[in-house]
Chain A
Amino acid sequence: MSAGRNRLPTFAALIPGAALRRAAAVSPGDIRDAVRRSGLRGRGGAGFLTGVKWNLAAAAGGQEKYVICNADEGEPGTFKDRLLLSDFTELVFEGMTLAGRAIGGRCGIVYLRGEYRYLVPHLESILAKRRTKGLLGREILGVNGFDFDVEIRLGSGAYVCGEETALIESLEGHRGEPRNRPPYPVTMGFRGCPTVVNNVETLVLACGVAAHGPEWLRSVGTEDSPGPKLLSVSGDCTRPGVYEFPLGTPLRDVLGAAGGSDAKAVQVGGAAGVCVPRSQFGRRLSYEDLSTGGAVIVLGPGRDMLAVARNFVEFFNDESCGQCTPCRYGNAALMAGIEKLEQGRCSISELNDLLALGETMQLASKCGLGQTSPNAFRSIASHFRGEILGHGQGNGGGHE
């Protein structure tokens, strides 16, 4: 939708082909160097330095190396990758090709969530177009040895497959259960080969870095969080949609742009993120403060915070892979606790136990899903303690 593009000036200014032409002229090491110096960090939420990731994969031994585009955008409240995949498709594939060039890999895989299957014909047509233009396939842009092609693989409805090792397990035909790490995918990933898994947005931004140099990214954002970030804004606001903001932007500004300034709280980072109360709307969206894959769910003045917590805990109860104890049983215990809270039967000591359990889940779970699964509950239960304890007793926080 063109309305979307207007909100994304940086992305809209990128011209497909520019990054690859530049990359074809320099060495793979130069590409990695540019990405490393740009300070580009993974846009999926974890914020790992893309340049470091690419360098590790480039240094790892092995004949075959893989570039995987993580298009398993399952985080509740996130839909910016959907926009990139449909409106900036060429740049996504270009970023993958770039990564392939940078690490010495010839195979790219887009792991597209099953929910986005309707995008497949579009993606395939763009792939065909790029092959025709010599931007994919053998000897890309006529460069000897620059071979790269992309295959699309579909997920089948499993949020955890957004976790990179679970994604790889899924590609290998297993249940999407995260692996033990180390080893990390950059040394032992898909089929045991060095693999970089990058978020859709990261790959698009890498195109910008390759085309315009590291300073292009650093022209906006903060020292540790350079560049723009796409935000998916939804919930109780008048103008939901995808927005581009420099990293480091205060939450308040985002709410202003999306028409959600009267919010009671904002869930930043989706189900795995934290709930930010009104008093903290001055906090900044950046890896140093509020780290996010881009989800901003606005919770209007009348929202029942316990219902919000319930929705997320239910989500994790369903989406946990069920492998490790803290996540599998922990979310079930949180659910039982929420039911008690709803009925006004949860004692303070029980609530404290649940909060401590949340800490254990954060510390002891096997993967990022489990580690972030209690975030929403913990932040809601600490910022809105009175409201949730008053639930079912008729003397709560005065909402509803």
Chain B
Amino acid sequence: MDPLDRHRLTAEVVMLAEKYGRTRSGLLPILQALQNHYRFLPDAAMQETADLLGLHPVEVYAVATFYRFLDIERKGRFMIRLCRTLSCDMKGKDAVARQLELELGVPFGQTTPDGRFSLGWCNCLGMCDHAPALLVNDRVFTGVTRESVFNILQGCRRALSSQVAPGRLEGPDVSR
């Protein structure tokens, strides 16, 4: 790792630890913040976090691998998680999955070579009344169809080119 990057990363972890407290209770918020920023948990960040909170690095690693929304490998700019639980399954999640793979050219569990999209599964998103549902980063899309997969991906691409924050994606409104 570039020493400069390492320095910046250390400074960021120190800042986060100040914000969330240097106790073990601060661990998840710190990891979540790192995940949001880097789209994964860099090795050095985990070790710095461990050091600051008085933990062993393996304890941080154990926590990181327990939670599905924390990654230890770099993910794409847009992390797409398709719900695979029963209600979405019954409403055609398989078709949506095939379409996603087709559009992105990578199977589930992988990231596109350009680093823009990662495909993954998730369990129930709590959108069963508007199934099938998927998450793009924090954003929920419901009632997804083959056609809307394309639109969602286009929205992401547009957001990238216009530098819109990923939280402000265009697309159908989030259903409550």
Contact = CB atoms under 8 A, between A and B. Distances in A.
Interface of A: 1, 4, 73-79, 81-83, 86-87, 113-118, 153-159, 170-176, 191, 232-236, 240-242, 267, 270-271, 295, 297, 299, 303, 307-308, 311-312, 314-315, 318-319, 321
A77 B25 CA distance: 30
A117 B126 CA distance: 12
A77 B90 CA distance: 12
Nearest to B21: A173
Given A1-B176, A156-B67, A234-B129, A173 B124 contact: no
11 contacts: A76-B86, A82-B176, A115-B140, A156-B31, A173-B26, A232-B128, A235-B86, A235-B87, A240-B130, A299-B90, A311-B89
A234 B128 contact: yes
Contacts of B29: 153-154
B139 interface: yes
A79 to B, nearest CB: 4
Contact of A79 (B62, B70, B128): B128
Given A114-B69, A267-B86, A79 B122 contact: no
A73 to B, nearest CB: 6
A233 B129 contact: yes
Interface string B19-32: 00001111111011
B86 A86 contact: no
A153 B140 CA distance: 19
Interface in B120-176: 122-131, 135, 138-140, 174-176
A191 B26 CA distance: 12
A206 B117 CA distance: 44
A73 B130 CA distance: 16
Contacts of B138: 117-118
B68 A4 contact: no
B176 A308 contact: no
Considering the complex of A and B, which 8 residue pairs feature the smallest CB-CB distances, nearest first? A173-B27, A157-B68, A234-B128, A156-B67, A173-B24, A157-B69, A240-B129, A76-B124
Contacts of B69: 114, 155-157
A333 B27 CA distance: 34
Contact of A86 (B63, B87, B176): B176
Contact of A157 (B53, B63, B122): B122
Contact of B85 (A76, A241, A321): A76
Q: Which of A75, A173, A191, A271 counts the most chain B CB atoms within 10 A? A: A173
Contacts of B66: 158, 175-176, 321
A174 B24 contact: yes
A273 to B, nearest CB: 11
B128 A236 contact: no
Contacts of A174: 24, 63
B176 A297 contact: no
A303 B85 CA distance: 15
B123 A315 contact: yes
Interface in B69-94: 69-70, 84-87, 89-90
Contact of A156 (B32, B124, B129): B32
Contacts of B25: 171-173, 191
A156 B68 contact: yes
A297 B128 contact: yes
A293 to B, nearest CB: 12
A360 B2 CA distance: 53
B86 A308 contact: yes
Nearest to A312: B86
Q: Which of B66, B122, B135 counts the most chain A CB atoms within 10 A? A: B66
Given A172-B24, A234-B87, A271-B85, A115 B122 contact: yes
Given A156-B69, A235-B87, A303-B90, 11 more contacts: A1-B176, A79-B128, A79-B129, A86-B176, A156-B35, A158-B66, A176-B66, A295-B128, A299-B90, A311-B85, A315-B123
Contacts of A76: 85-87, 123-124, 128
Given A153-B29, A156-B28, A236-B90, A173 B63 contact: yes
